[in-house]
Amino acid sequence: MGKTRKLLSIAGSDPSGGAGIQADLKTFSAFGCYGMAAVTALTAQNTRGVTAAYPVAPDIVAAQIAVVMADIRPDAIKIGMVATPEIAAAIAESLGEEPRNVVLDPVLLPTQGASLAAAGLERALIATLVPLARLVTPNIFEAAALTETPQARRIDEMAAQGQMLIEAGARAVLVKGGDLSGEPVDVLVADGETRLFHGRRIATRHTHGTGCALSSAIAAGLAKGASLIDAIAAAKVWLEGALEAAEALELGEGRGPPNHFYGVW
């Protein structure tokens, strides 16, 4: 079987199981990896949207990370919902400056419902967690918020925002274009180059937690030794399959989740 690859999710909890740490753990398992989780916030949400979010105390977040790092060192770390600037600082201090496979998915606003970010979180992420990440994966709304620029409507604007985040300290940025019209295109800015990842538009309402799933799938690929480009490409292919198979789950009345285990069940 080879070495067990271990991943840590640092994110919020989704009681409906479609996003957050629940989605991350399912994705890690779908890629044959062992998943762990440090909870940053409790949310009240389902396929219809988010109704409330309750951040965990920063010292408790740090304690969760510390006990995992002291006993089961992860091969990669996925950071999702951070909730507050104080939690962002606690995570950064807990992880330190040691290079590792960190994928930061800067969760700021859900597609439906209450905000998942306190005031000032964007700048806190830039100052604390963006420089620690091997890859940052904002969607077009989050990229606009992080760069304090208008929402991108074209590929060149997405690339420009990615470059702005590189200049702010990111090592690599994947700006996700799934919310643009037409066939989805993600833009990777890394190592002084821009690369496009074209995808297929899957006709489904089951898109709850797709950002969580994609970033976790990339982290799983990195944990298993894939290059950044190969990890992104494999994650996108897997996610398209999970979206195509989502209808079979028959979950929820709103935006249901992708079928994380379509390749296993």
Tokens of 122: 């964007």
Active-site residue (options: 212, 221, 224, 256): 212
Active site residue 111: no
- The question of whether 26 is a catalytic residue gets the answer no
Catalytic residue among 6, 26, 78, 176: 176
Which entry of 209, 221, 224, 256 is annotated as an active-site residue? Answer: 209
Active-site residue flag, 207: yes
- Half-sphere exposure (Cβ direction) of 64: Cα atoms closer than 13 Å: 18
| 224 a catalytic residue | no
Considering 20, 113, 177, 211, which one is annotated as catalytic? 211
Choice among 113, 194, 207, 236 that is catalytic: 207
- 209 is an active site residue: yes
Name the strands in the sheet holding 49-55, side by side, starting at the edge strand that comes first in the sequence.
49-55, 34-46, 6-13, 76-79, 102-104, 135-136, 172-175, 185-190, 193-198
Among the listed residues 210, 221, 224, 236, the single catalytic one is 210
Residue 263: active-site member: no
Which residues are the active-site residues? 176, 207, 209-212
